[in-house]
């Protein structure tokens, strides 16, 4: 739903406009958040605040996120939604139920569309590069899905600058639809790969950039300052805990509190506003398990992210 408070940005050189803040379903909808009323209240509040872009994947709780979010989308005007989903990660033990082969892409899109309850998705992402499938096979399959009207644009996630350049050159040579968007990780804590490699390549190719985990799975909110709050994501997941929680990271996040308090905003708002103003970023995909988190995160739109403020945040959290 159009909301004057929400900036809408062109996705790279395409004509599609995405809300600067998006909402995704990883580890949340259909997973840690199963209550249908809560899911509906969060998605509907995001939509009413002007969020038009909602990000899912087949692998998120093996299809349950697509189902849970799809049930809410059914009550919203489809033409106002930009829905994305993804393909790559193994959905079962079957040897072909994975990767970016023509077979898996064709089987996966139909399953995703059925779970979401839509006849097309706006964006379809190759969730990782697939070294075991020729790039031409993947590009041709994506091009075919666009011609069949099942997807409107295709994109990549966590591809390197060189892989993006190769895909573009190949599509140009074969006259295929090119990937229009890349989905990389970006937060104050994990920013170097984006800044050094992915963002320069994407901007040179005219790709949009929709970035994930702006709060480093919640760490940048400051909720882990004094240990692990029961039920929070890094309390629940040992793997994610190992990749984010360290004394140095927690100490760095504590330093952000001084800046946030001075400005009368929260650390989550600062971290999201920082990501929204990085080079080439079309939209920052956030996550929320509670309505209050979503509301707080939407407050990032009000932060005036000056160059001086960026420098202060980057000094508090050194790269790497």
Ligand X SMILES: NC(=O)c1ccc[n+]([C@@H]2O[C@H](COP(=O)([O-])OP(=O)(O)OC[C@H]3O[C@@H](n4cnc5c(N)ncnc54)[C@H](OP(=O)(O)O)[C@@H]3O)[C@@H](O)[C@H]2O)c1
Catalytic residues: 60
Tokens 């390549």, residue located: 201
Dihedral over alpha carbons 212, 213, 214, 215 (to 10 degrees): 170
With contacts defined by CB under 6 A, how many residues of the chain interact with ligand X? 29
CB of 235 to ligand X, least distance (A): 8
- Choices 3-11, 162-170, 213-221, 242-250 (CB under 6 A): range interacting with ligand X: 213-221
- Choices 9-17, 22-30, 135-143, 305-313 (CB under 6 A): range interacting with ligand X: 22-30
Tokens 């004094």, residue located: 226
CB of 285 within 8 A of CB of 319? no
Based on CB atoms, which residue is closest to ligand X, 14 or 156?
A: 156
Question: Of 14, 52, 138, 213, which lies in the binding site for ligand X, with binding defined by CB under 6 A?
Answer: 213
> Does 296 contact ligand X by CB under 6 A?
yes
Distance of CA 240 to the CA centre of its chain: 17
Pairing type for strands 17-19 and 8-10 reads antiparallel
Q: Give the list of residues 6+ apart from residue 22 with CB closer than 8 angstroms, or none.
A: 51, 53, 54, 55, 210, 283, 284, 285, 286
Q: Pattern of binders to ligand X over 149-188, x per CB under 6 A?
A: --------xx------------------------x-----
CB of 173 to ligand X, least distance (A): 27
Q: Residue 207: which of 2, 9, 7 has the closest Cα?
A: 9
Q: Which residues bind ligand X (CB under 6 A)?
A: 24-26, 28, 32, 55, 157-158, 183, 212-218, 221, 223, 232-233, 268, 285-289, 293, 296-297
């Amino acid at each position: 739903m159009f909301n004057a408070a929400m900036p809408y940005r062109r996705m790279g050189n395409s004509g599609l406009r995405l809300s600067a803040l998006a909402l995704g379903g990883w580890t949340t909808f259909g997973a840690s958040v199963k209550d249908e009323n809560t899911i509906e209240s969060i998605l509907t509040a995001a939509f009413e605040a002007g969020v038009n872009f909602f990000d899912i994947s087949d692998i998120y709780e093996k299809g349950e996120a697509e189902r849970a979010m799809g049930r809410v989308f059914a009550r919203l005007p489809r033409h106002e939604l930009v829905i994305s989903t993804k393909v790559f990660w193994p959905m079962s033990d079957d040897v072909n139920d994975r990767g970016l082969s023509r077979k898996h892409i064709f089987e996966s899109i139909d399953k995703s569309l059925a779970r979401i309850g839509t006849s097309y998705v706006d964006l379809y992402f190759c969730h990782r590069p697939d070294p075991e499938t020729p790039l031409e096979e993947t590009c041709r399959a994506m091009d075919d899905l666009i011609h069949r009207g099942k997807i409107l644009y295709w994109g990549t996630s966590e591809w390197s600058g060189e892989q993006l350049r190769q895909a573009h050159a190949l599509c140009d040579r074969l006259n295929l639809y090119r990937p229009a968007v890349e989905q990389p990780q970006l937060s104050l804590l994990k920013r170097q790969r984006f800044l050094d490699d992915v963002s320069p390549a994407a901007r040179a190719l005219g790709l949009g950039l929709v970035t994930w985990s702006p709060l480093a799975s919640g760490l940048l909110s400051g909720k882990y300052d004094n240990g692990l709050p029961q039920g929070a994501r890094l309390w629940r997941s040992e793997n994610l805990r190992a990749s984010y929680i360290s004394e140095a990271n927690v100490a760095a996040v504590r330093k952000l509190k001084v800046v946030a308090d001075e400005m009368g905003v929260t650390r989550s708002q600062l971290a999201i506003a920082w990501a929204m103003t990085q080079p080439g970023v079309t939209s920052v995909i956030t996550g929320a398990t509670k309505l209050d988190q979503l509301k707080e995160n939407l407050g990032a739109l009000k932060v005036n992210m000056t160059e001086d403020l960026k420098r202060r945040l980057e000094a508090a959290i050194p790269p790497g």
